[in-house]
Amino acid sequence: MERTSPLLKQSMLPASIKQVRIHDTFWSPRQLGVIETVVPYQWDALNDNIPDAEPSHTIENFRLAAKEADGEYYGMVFQDSDLGKWLETVGFVLSVTQDPQLVQIADEVIDLLERAQQPDGYLNTYYTVKEPGKRWTNLRDNHELYCAGHLMEAAVSYYEATGKTKFLDIMSRYADYIAEVFGKEEGQKRGYDGHPEIELALVKLAHATGNKAYMELSKFFVDERGQQPHFFDLEAQERIEAGDLSRDKPNQKKRIYDYFQAHLPVRQQQTAEGHSVRAVYLYSAMADLAAEYSDEELMNACKELWRDTVHRKMYVTGGIGSSAYEERFTIPFDLPNDRAYTETCAAIGLMFWGHRMLQIEKDRQYADVIELALFNGVLSGISLDGKSYFYVNPLEVWPQAADFRNDMNSVKVTRQPWFGCACCPPNIARLLASLGQYIYSHQDDDQEIYVHQYIGSTLDATLSGKQVRLSQQTNYPWDGQVTIEVTSAEQIEFTVAVRIPSWCKQAEIRVNNVPANASNHENGYVKLRREWQTGDRIELNLDMPVEHIHAHPQLRANAGKVALQRGPVIYCLEEEDNGANLQDITIPSDARFHVQFAEHLLGGVSILTGIGTRSVYPSGDDQLLYTTQGFCRENVPLTAIPYFAWSNRSRGEMTVWMRQH
Amino acid sequence: MERTSPLLKQSMLPASIKQVRIHDTFWSPRQLGVIETVVPYQWDALNDNIPDAEPSHTIENFRLAAKEADGEYYGMVFQDSDLGKWLETVGFVLSVTQDPQLVQIADEVIDLLERAQQPDGYLNTYYTVKEPGKRWTNLRDNHELYCAGHLMEAAVSYYEATGKTKFLDIMSRYADYIAEVFGKEEGQKRGYDGHPEIELALVKLAHATGNKAYMELSKFFVDERGQQPHFFDLEAQERIEAGDLSRDKPNQKKRIYDYFQAHLPVRQQQTAEGHSVRAVYLYSAMADLAAEYSDEELMNACKELWRDTVHRKMYVTGGIGSSAYEERFTIPFDLPNDRAYTETCAAIGLMFWGHRMLQIEKDRQYADVIELALFNGVLSGISLDGKSYFYVNPLEVWPQAADFRNDMNSVKVTRQPWFGCACCPPNIARLLASLGQYIYSHQDDDQEIYVHQYIGSTLDATLSGKQVRLSQQTNYPWDGQVTIEVTSAEQIEFTVAVRIPSWCKQAEIRVNNVPANASNHENGYVKLRREWQTGDRIELNLDMPVEHIHAHPQLRANAGKVALQRGPVIYCLEEEDNGANLQDITIPSDARFHVQFAEHLLGGVSILTGIGTRSVYPSGDDQLLYTTQGFCRENVPLTAIPYFAWSNRSRGEMTVWMRQH
């Protein structure tokens, strides 16, 4: 589609996964883990071939819908989305690697999808197999459009990787049918899904197919959200009248729909509310549409929501959603460390949203949050061996209390094997497989290439029809040295805009060994414009001291405490290194930590060592619980490890925030 | 009964409620509130005469059991116990005051009880009306013996107040019947109640009636608890075989019975576990029986349990039970302030237990805990006007978070009207009505009178057949001046043992203006032995500086924090006096607080004023949530009020523990 919107015209376009090859000591093994381990494992899971695991039944459900098997539907109402996420990941994998066998598997399952598709284009196994005739009767709870969205994202991913159109055609037929069912015309439903997802998927589908109707449909869903009379009330009333009381009671109090981000029309929403994954999926679509339609009002809502999220409701790790109940945002500054929910998927969704905001606004604040979430709240969700996962990423754990207390029962002290979960593992897989798209953007009108993230990689871009290659080398996040080399068949004038992360207070930039002014940045990006030619070399030196991070005084849980950050990495103390009762430890306000790369620890990480204090107390049984005597304190050595690497050794206590004395 | 047990012979006997008349500026109005307001209100509630309140149906259930009404049973399975608690309170009230009308009401309801009693002595409305034929089929869950226990306590209380024996006879018949059903003989049940209560009640009944069989029955229940094969398993199996699956499933995993303190035989229990009210009721009976039977093994278990409770699992307010889930003890040092459960009834039960331990051991540690619980964790349960109640007594409240977060949903920010609750309000009522029994004990063999609590009161005691009166005057807890005057018809040699509370580091004692050696104490009691005569006067001066209380370093929730205590009173900060965000406040380690009696505040309390610090920060919307800059701090005036008086003004934040800098 043409980029007619003024906001879209001034936006950047992210470099596609195909344009970017990652070769990074930190990320490449993790991406490879997804390709070699997670994708095959997950395929076995979808086919119920994992011994001792709960059956997924996902593929079997599609066979049932295609009338190629006998039996009953099994699984969650949103089971189809698991195949969507897997196929989307497959597409990303095929964008960065060749794998004919994987293509064959994917093609076969896409054929199955086609056979499961109904003549009118409808494609949902739950309603085809289990509740035929009840399509679109419970948008609020049953994830019907959500599943469609994940399959659409998969179709786009697979098309972009392989150029094959069958899956895209299947999902276009489904989208065409959905566009008939939903709309403002007589006989159409003015509804939307309880779980946002299709909105951002339709934007992708519109771009992949060039069909603006899908963009319009996305806009319709976004604009209808939260309007009165409330669609969720109306459909609940219809269910009640039809005698279907499985989800509703006749005299049920009207729910406050903030859980679904449907409490207000989206343009009136100024604070991040409700289920945090749903929220950031919605806000991602809102940002997409703001750019597409040059919709300043929608963009302003996005900015307000972003501000509320990152300045009021985000953990220092980039995690969001502080309440296990409804997996939701709560009130400003309510960010307890031991009862953080901080679902891995929510941090990933925050990256999705920030990625879109960044393209429109060209402001490092978005890239900073993407980086923060990526290295901390997202990465903590997967074990170093790639085989187990956290849904919930607490910032403080006392295992014995977490085991015992019901008010902490969402906190797991060790990661769980992936097949026990349905959403976070595939979400991490698709994120890692598609990591390339977060590194660079280009703005063709101004002949600009933005470097957002420091990840060893090669970008092949085309500027005014000319091929340009940027090769980035770095040992990030363990040091701040980044080298970017240019390769170009001919000399060409353009801008390389490099991000100075907000955590970096002292940056040096050299171009071909000549210093550039690193403080001359525009929204955090230093713009290096010149006639570039092969062999030109940009060197960044981002100073990475160990920083003491203080929380806003309203953030009660962190009063008197600091967190340690070095570069983009948040650190934590673990019991394995520092003994139990980590809350007793204090560090001085001028504490200096020594940085040391521990090659053989936790897959190779920089650790921080320093001196703190601990109480001296006898270990007898009769000590008073309360005394008027303070306890003496003694110096103790401390070792902090990256937060993302916690819980990869022994089970034990962990804390991100440490008391300062 | 004769005091034949060696342990019992060396024990003290608490002065009875009838022997003690309270005339205290602090306590008398509270006791009067119970007599004048709570008792009539509760009677109306039992009779469903409170407009807009949920019906209690308690009296109606007894009418149904007596076949004097038509209808169906309504209420909890333990509804009968509400009448028991009320009648027990009535007995206490009638011990300290005359009220012919109350006697008449009580006599009439006792007549009804008699008519509701079954020919075999059984007396329980639930099983008589609702599930006839199912007596004793679910001891674990259905509170059958628990209800019996409360009615027995009531019968003893009423008998001791009035000398009338009808109620005592009714409950003796019931006890006789229970003794037929339960026991080790062929055909008897080797069971016990899921909720301990009858055990301590039977001890009282044995003393009131002189029937040692009741003591034996109590001992049987206590000794059977936790034995294998497990009674709760056996009765569950019987229910399953009888086809009654309402509470059990055939393949149900065997429960760990620590919730019921039935995980081990009681003599093997060394740590306080499970539902905290049940626990302290059981431990109270264990202490009773240890003394009665001179059972050192049982006494040692009591001491271990006491140590674990007060040195590992008690809040600084004397509250116990740190988990809302199962209202239970958790693990040592797990005492979160904002998610404290600290049920008012549990703190009251801790007083019951400590009261018994104190008589046996003559050690101030028990009187100290009784005092601590009374002035703090118990008293916080009732509003200053006596009309609303807390079940849950948190030590830190952020109302907005408590409203929003599901993991704090047991915390109420304001007290609830009593009729919404079933257990704590009557428990507070019976405690306040019976407060007299906690003040004095006597040990006749050694001619000793112990003064445990400083409450303005008059004790009329008999020592070797001679009448002695002690008159105590004090302004406690607001100052530590206590005067005790002796009145005696003739000169008599005996000991007055006065307690030096453990919080008091400097005490002065004068007898007839002559200094006595206050540091010469025996387990915290200074023993003043002499020939006492009318006009003799003991003066205590207990120094009451404001103390900074530190928690054990393992108590993670209080790391780096202090609480303020003056005398027996724990203080707190409220938002009303100190603004919001109380967690931001720090006080210096050498902070000095000024004590001031505020006559017109909160019914007249001593408040503490001092200087702390707070962060200085602008109030704009764009402040960063996390920064590398610490925040400046400024001095702010602080006002602390007694913890028991919190939440009597505006709704707002509160904290007991303050950060120290």
- 3-state SS, one letter per residue, for A120-152: CCCCCHHHHHHCCCCCCCCCCCCCHHHHHHHHH
Question: How distant, in Å, are the alpha carbons of A15, A126, A393, B342, B375 from that of B317?
Answer: 61, 55, 33, 9, 8
Per-residue b or e along B495-511, where b marks 16 or more CB atoms closer than 10 Å to that residue's CB: bbbbbbbebbeebebeb
Q: Is B410's pLDDT higher than 60?
A: yes
Q: Are A331 and A312 in contact (CB under 8 A)?
A: no
CA distance A520 to A517: 6
3-state class (DSSP) for residue B52: coil
Chain A residues in contact with B329 (beta carbon < 8 A): none
Mean pLDDT of A19-35: 95
Q: Is A584 at the interface with chain B, CB within 8 A?
A: yes
Q: In the predicted model, is pLDDT for residue B418 greater than 80?
A: no
Is A556 at the interface with chain B, CB within 8 A? yes
Closest CA to B563 of B652, B631, B654, B454: B654
Query: Could you give the CA distance from residue A351 to residue B147 in angstroms, rounded to a whole number?
Result: 59
CB A437 within 8 A of CB A14: yes
* pLDDT tens per residue across span A111-144: 999 999 999 999 999 999 999 999 999 999 999 9
DSSP A339-373: T---BHHHHHHHHHHHHHHHHHH--HHHHHHHHHI
Residues 219-238 of A with CB under 8 A from B: none
Identity of the residue in A339, A405, A586 whose CB atom sits nearest the CB atom of B330: A405
**What is the pLDDT at residue B619?**
66
Q: A276 or B4: whose pLDDT is higher?
A: A276
Gap from B225 CA to chain A (nearest CA, Å): 24
Assess B586–A contact: CB distance below 8 Å, yes or no: yes
Mean pLDDT of chain A: 94
Of the two residues A282 and B463, the one the predictor is more confident about is A282
Across chain B, mean pLDDT equals 94
Residue numbers in A near B272 (CB within 8 A):
none
In the 8-state DSSP scheme, what is residue B404? H
Tokens 């996902």 map to which residue?
Answer: A58
Give the 3-state secondary structure percentages of chain B, helix then strand then coil, rounded to 5.
40, 20, 40
| Of B327, B361, B448, B574, catalytic | B327
Per-residue pLDDT for B337 more than 90? yes
Q: Which residues contact B63 (CB under 8 A, 6 or more apart)?
A: B69, B112, B116
Residue B36 CA: distances (Å) to CA of A341, B92, B381, B476? 49, 13, 19, 24
- φ, ψ of residue A13 to 5 degrees: the values are -115, 130
Q: Which residues of B touch A334 (CB under 8 A)?
A: 398, 400-401, 404-405
Structure tokens at B592: 């000095």
AA letter at B6:
P
Q: Which residues of A298-308 are buried (b: 16+ CB within 10 A; e: fewer)?
A: bbebbbebbbb
CB contact under 8 A, B560 and A586: yes
pLDDT at B252: 52
**Predicted local distance difference test score (pLDDT) of residue A251:** 53
Identify the band that residue A621 occupies on the pLDDT scale cut at 50, 70 and 90.
low
In chain B, what residues touch A614 (CB-CB under 8 Å)? 553
A398: contact with B, CB 8 A cutoff:
yes
Indicate if the pLDDT at residue B471 is higher than 60. Answer: yes
| Close Cβ partners of A102 (under 8 Å, ≥ 6 residues apart) | A39, A90, A93, A94
Tell me the chain B residues in contact with residue A627 when contact means C-beta distances shorter than 8 Å: 549-550, 552
pLDDT recorded at residue B6: 87
When pLDDT is cut at 50, 70 and 90, the band that residue B650 belongs to is very high
Nearest CA in chain B to A407: B407
Structure tokens belonging to residue B135: 């007596």
Task: Give residue A506's identity as a one-letter amino acid code.
Answer: Q
* Residue whose C-alpha is closest to residue B157's, from B212, B84, B97: B84
Q: Which residues of B touch A551 (CB under 8 A)?
A: 625-626
Residue type, A301: A
Residues in A closer than 8 angstroms to B615, CB to CB, are: 553
Nearest chain A residue (CA) to B503: A628
The pLDDT-based confidence of A247 (bands split at 50, 70, 90) is: confident
DSSP alpha helix (H) spans, B53-165: 58-65, 80-96, 100-116, 125, 144-162
Would you state the torsion angle of the CA atoms of residues A620, A625, A629, A631, taken in this order, to the nearest 10 degrees? 60
Task: Name the minimum distance, in Å, from the CA of B111 to any CA of chain A.
Answer: 45
Nearest CB neighbour to A625, from listed B555, B623, B627: B555
Contact predicate B425/B38, CB 8 Å: yes
Report residue B1 as tokens.
């009964």
Q: What is the pLDDT of residue B499?
A: 98
Chain B residue closest to A409 (CA)?
Answer: B407
> Is the per-residue pLDDT at A428 higher than 80?
yes
Q: Is B424 part of the annotated catalytic residue set?
A: no
CB contact under 8 A, B617 and A552: yes
> How high is the pLDDT of residue B419?
59
Closest-CA residue of A relative to B630 is A550
Confidence (pLDDT) at B445: 82
Q: Of A423, A424, A504, A572, which residue is the catalytic one?
A: A423
Count of residues in chain A: 661
Please tell me the distance from the alpha carbon of residue A311 to that of residue A315, in angstroms, as a whole number: 10
Q: Measured between CB atoms, which of A311, A547, A581 is closest to B556? A: A581
Which of the residue ranges A611-615, A627-631, B597-601, B647-651 would you say has the lowest mean pLDDT?
A627-631
From B307, B325, B581, residue closest to A406, measured CB to CB? B325
Interface of A with B in 306-345 (CB under 8 A): 307, 310-312, 314, 316, 323-326, 330-331, 334, 339
Give the pLDDT score at A419.
59
- C-alpha span between B254 and A403 (Å, rounded): 19
CB atoms within 10 A of CB A115: 12
Walk across the sheet containing A466-474 and list its strands: A20-22, A457-463, A466-474, A481-488, A537-542, A507-511, A514-516
- Which residue has 């004038």 as its token pair? A493
Sign, Cα dihedral of B380, B382, B388, B389: positive
Is any Cβ of chain A less than 8 angstroms from the Cβ of B626?
A: yes
Does pLDDT of B142 surpass 90? Answer: yes
A619 and chain B: CB distance < 8 Å anywhere?
Answer: no
CA A58 to chain CA mean position, Å: 24
Asked if A286 and A302 touch (Cβ cutoff 8 Å), the reply is yes
> How wide is the angle at C-alpha B124 spanned by C-alphas B123 and B128, nearest 5°?
100
Give the mean model confidence (pLDDT) for residues A485-507.
96
CB of B656 closer than 8 Å to CB of B570: yes
Judged against a pLDDT cut of 90, whether residue B423 lies above it is answered with no
Q: Tell me the mean pLDDT in the region A153-163.
A: 98
Give tens-digit pLDDT for A88-120: 999 999 999 999 999 999 999 999 999 999 999
B633/A contact by beta carbon, under 8 A: no
B625 → closest Cβ in A555, A559, A583: A555
Q: Is B479 helix (H, G, I), strand (E, B) or coil?
A: coil
Catalytic (active site) residue A423 = yes
Of the listed ranges A291-295, A443-447, B98-102, B229-233, the least confidently predicted one is A443-447
**Distance (Å, whole) CA A381 – CA A388:** 8
Instruction: Name the range with the highest mean pLDDT among A46-60, B295-309, B421-435.
Output: B295-309
Q: Residue A623 has what pLDDT?
A: 82
Partner-chain contact A554 B334, CB within 8 Å: no
Residue A421 has pLDDT above 60, yes or no: no
pLDDT tens, residue by residue, B167-204: 999 999 999 999 999 999 999 999 999 999 999 999 99
Q: Which two three-digit tokens encode residue A100?
A: 């004919």
User: In chain B, which residues have their Cβ closer than 8 Å to the Cβ of A563?
Assistant: 626
Q: Of B559, B589, B626, which has the smallest distance from its Cβ to A551's Cβ?
A: B626
Q: What is the largest CA-CA distance in chain A?
A: 81
Chain A residue with minimum CA distance to B400: A331
Residue B619 sits at the chain A interface (C-beta within 8 Å): no
Q: Are B161 and B170 in contact (CB under 8 A)?
A: no
ipTM of the complex: 0.94
Residue B3 pLDDT: 75
Q: What is the pLDDT of residue A342?
A: 96
Higher pLDDT, A50 or A214: A214
Strand B492-499 to B525-532 pairing: antiparallel
Residues A320-348, buried b or exposed e (16+ Cβ, 10 A)?
bbbbbebbbbbbbbbbbbbbbbbbbbbbb
Nearest residue in chain B measured CA to CA from A629:
B550
pLDDT at residue B450 greater than cutoff 80: yes
Please tell me the distance from the alpha carbon of residue A234 to that of residue A253, in angstroms, as a whole number.
Answer: 14
pLDDT of residue A159: 98
Helix or strand (DSSP H, E) at A64: helix A58-65
**Confidence band of B478 (pLDDT split at 50, 70, 90):** very high
Tokens of A646: 């916690």
DSSP string, B501-556: -TT-S-EEEEETTEEE-TT-EETTEEEEEEEE-TT-EEEEEE---EEEEEE-TT-G
pLDDT, residue A2, reads 72
Is the model's pLDDT at B10 over the cut of 90? no
Report the C-alpha gap between A255 and A258 in whole angstroms. Answer: 9
Between the alpha carbon of residue A431 and those of residues A31, A34, A79, B148, B309, the distances in Å are 9, 10, 20, 63, 50
The predicted pLDDT at position B244 comes to: 81
- H or E element, residue A607: strand A605-615
Percent of chain A with pLDDT over 70: 97
The verdict on a CB contact (< 8 Å) between A325 and B407 is yes
Q: What is the pLDDT of residue A272?
A: 98
pLDDT tens readout for residues A249-307: 655 555 589 999 999 999 999 999 999 999 999 999 999 999 999 999 999 999 999 99
A275 neighbors A345 (Cβ within 8 angstroms): no
Which tokens is A253 given?
């109090």
